[in-house]
A and B are shown apart, each in its own frame.
Chain A
Amino acid sequence: MIALLRSLGRRAIGFFERLGRANLFLIQVLAGLPSLIPRMGLVVQQVYSVGVLSFLIVAVAGLFVGMVLGLQGYNTLIDFGAEESLGVMVALSLVRELGPVVTALLFAGRAGSALTAEIGLMKATEQLSGMEMMAVDPIKRVIAPRFLAGFIAMPLLAAIFSAIGIFGGYFVGVALLGVDDGAFWSQIQSRVDFNEDIVNGVIKSVVFGFVAVWIALYEGYDAVPTSEGVSRATTRTVVNTSLAVLALDFVLTALMFD
């Protein structure tokens, strides 16, 4: 009984300890961002590995999610004779919810896990402490460029996801199922508001990008420097990012669309 309590307490203390370290880490990273200005080349390199390499999976997923939305929406809306609203349904679901959320989940799986593994391995092979020995701050040299890159790439990926998804819905709805072309676009344009829907979707993707790279980098930086520790950290990145994104999505939706 006492042992149970003790292990519970240890877990709780461990949780708060990690939470505190994660926030201190974030402050250090943010403080390291200005030092990137003369070294934008590092950021470009990371935008490549975080953003460009995630492009294909995000684009293909966007296309198929849009096509599925088109198909399912059509089957439901046809019962009410409202299949002209298919475009609105597809566009609003993508821009408001699925674009930012699914992109963030894919981003965590594709880019976040890679970041964690990379940094964790750097730590395990003592490259990070090697840098410190040479008076190079690993946070400024290694972590900050990756952080900024993820922050830049995520909103762009989410916008690509939504745009491709809408064309996927268009393809299924208009080209395959015969919804009227003009009604599809005009209904979208009259119902989707720029400030209300699109800007809020972008805000969501920015927040998710921030959280996703933060968790990925922290887990890597904080990993136990063994092969097992790195593999655990990678798993934790994907799980924690997904949970954080889904929970934050609820909070943001409640704040934005009341």
Chain B
Amino acid sequence: MWNNKTVEITVGVFVAVGLAAFFVLAMQVSNLSAFANEDGYLLEARFDNIGGLKTRAAVTMAGVKVGRVDSIGFDNETYEAVVQLKINHQYNTLPKDTSASIYTSGLLGEQYLSLEPGGDMEYMLENDRFKITQSAMVLEELIGQFLFNKAAEGEDK
């Protein structure tokens, strides 16, 4: 049998390795590290329909991730979805007339928010609201519209 000291050292190493594994899971594998450095300013966008957009979905500009969806709410008076976006501080030069649209990544992928810069000389500030927004594309509506148009074409002939 090994002496007591060796046993204690091996146990110490074992516990350290176990905690290190837990640390790896927390930092490298989960979103904990992404949460930590998430610092930015809030903007508000209102949509008629946000489709399947979720909180923490990506906000992109020219395909580059510039922030995240912070919260999603509902306005009882205008019946619109109120989406709060958190944009990283380094992207603080969005023109006032930037527009926000909800797109789907791939055919069946997650939905994300895409920003299109406008031409205004002034920049958006904290808690500003997007003036131009484009709602999510709902597949059923599109199909319905398509069928409706087809039927209308048929009547014309």
Choose from A48, A157, A163 the contact partner of B25 (Cβ within 8 Å): A163
- Distance, CA A41 to CA B4, complexed state (A): 9
- Distance, CA A157 to CA B22, complexed state (A): 10
- Distance, CA A5 to CA B34, complexed state (A): 63
Chain B residue total in the interface (Cβ 8 A): 24
Q: What residues of chain A lie closer than 8 Å to B4, measured between beta carbons? A: 41, 45
Verify if B78 is at the interface (C-beta below 8 Å from A): no
Q: Is the Cβ of A156 less than 8 Å from the Cβ of B29? A: no
Given contacts A44-B8, A45-B7, A95-B29, contact A55 B14 (CB under 8 A): yes
Choose from B14, B24, B30 the contact partner of A197 (Cβ within 8 Å): B30
In the complex, chain A residues 145-178 whose Cβ is within 8 Å of any chain B Cβ: 152-153, 155-157, 159-160, 162-164, 166
Verify if B132 is at the interface (C-beta below 8 Å from A): no
Q: Is the Cβ of A190 less than 8 Å from the Cβ of B15? A: no
- Distance, CA A185 to CA B24, complexed state (A): 12
Name the residue on B nearest A156 (C-beta).
B18
Q: Is the Cβ of A189 less than 8 Å from the Cβ of B30? A: yes
Q: Is the Cβ of A163 less than 8 Å from the Cβ of B24? A: yes
- Distance, CA A192 to CA B4, complexed state (A): 41
Q: Is the Cβ of B25 less than 8 Å from the Cβ of A198? A: yes
Q: Is the Cβ of A159 less than 8 Å from the Cβ of B25? A: yes
Apart from A52-B14, A163-B22, A189-B34, list 7 A-B contacts with CB within 8 A: A52-B13, A55-B14, A156-B18, A160-B21, A185-B28, A189-B30, A198-B29
Q: Which residues of A contact B (CB under 8 A)?
A: 41, 44-45, 47-48, 51-52, 55, 91, 95, 152-153, 155-157, 159-160, 162-164, 166, 185, 188-190, 192-194, 197-198, 202
23 cross-chain CB contacts under 8 A: A44-B11, A45-B4, A47-B15, A48-B11, A51-B14, A51-B15, A52-B10, A52-B11, A55-B14, A91-B29, A95-B25, A155-B18, A156-B14, A156-B19, A156-B21, A160-B17, A163-B25, A163-B29, A189-B29, A189-B30, A189-B31, A190-B31, A198-B26
Q: Which residues of B contact A (CB under 8 A)?
A: 4, 7-8, 10-11, 13-15, 17-19, 21-22, 24-26, 28-35
